[in-house]
Structure 1
């Protein structure tokens, strides 16, 4: 996918709990939201999941949602209702951290 030069990238990180595959390989979970600054739409999501399947699954909960209009909260609720693997709290903490990055951008 060619990146639109007008989009913005917001990232967040959180430490995986010990005993998970994510902790053994990465120690931290990272997520990035590519956002259209004019509309607030989340147009792409990237993460440090171990598999493409998990990354695509996470993206499906957020792509198309509006970060300005509660899209991150709605995406978290959708993700929580559908994701049944270890590290859920870590992933949500990283998502919230990415949203804080967006809010810090708005405060500039």
Structure 2
């Protein structure tokens, strides 16, 4: 399904204690499939309790560069108003840092 030049990176963070994500998963996770050549996010999915949330987040991130977390965070802050907004931005940043460390970028 995914090309040979892709990698999978997971970012994680804590969601608010009253958030159903915390009650179901104990943490907030977002998985990224990233093209190593272009650093473009090919696919993304996160631990959500409502599938439209994961699809909406995916639509904001796919096609964008994992090396531009500030731009992605701005888009999240302008478009995503779920209770896990902060957890999403922290998990995104966590995945971006992991990716950059892995490839020494």
TM-score strictly above 0.5: yes
Alpha-carbon offset, residue 73 of structure 1:
2.1
Runs of 4+ off more than 4 Å: none
Q: Which residue of 2 aligns with 1:55?
A: 54
Q: Which residue of 2 aligns with 1:77?
A: 74
Q: Which residue of 2 aligns with 1:22?
A: 21
Q: Which residue of 2 aligns with 1:64?
A: 63
Could you tell me how far apart the structure 1 residues matched to 2:92 and 2:70 are? Answer: 9
Q: Deviations over 1:9-61 (max 9, x none)?
A: 11111111111111111110101111111111111111111122101111111
Alpha-carbon offset, residue 5 of structure 1:
2.5
Could you tell me how far apart the structure 2 residues matched to 1:20 and 1:51 are? Answer: 12
TM-score normalised by L of structure 1: 0.88
Q: Which residue of 1 aligns with 2:12?
A: 13
For these two proteins, the number of residue pairs brought into alignment is 105
Could you tell me how far apart the structure 2 residues matched to 1:43 and 1:3 are? Answer: 9
Q: Which residue of 2 aligns with 1:32?
A: 31
Could you tell me how far apart the structure 2 residues matched to 1:35 and 1:102 are? Answer: 9
Q: CA RMSD in A?
A: 1.5
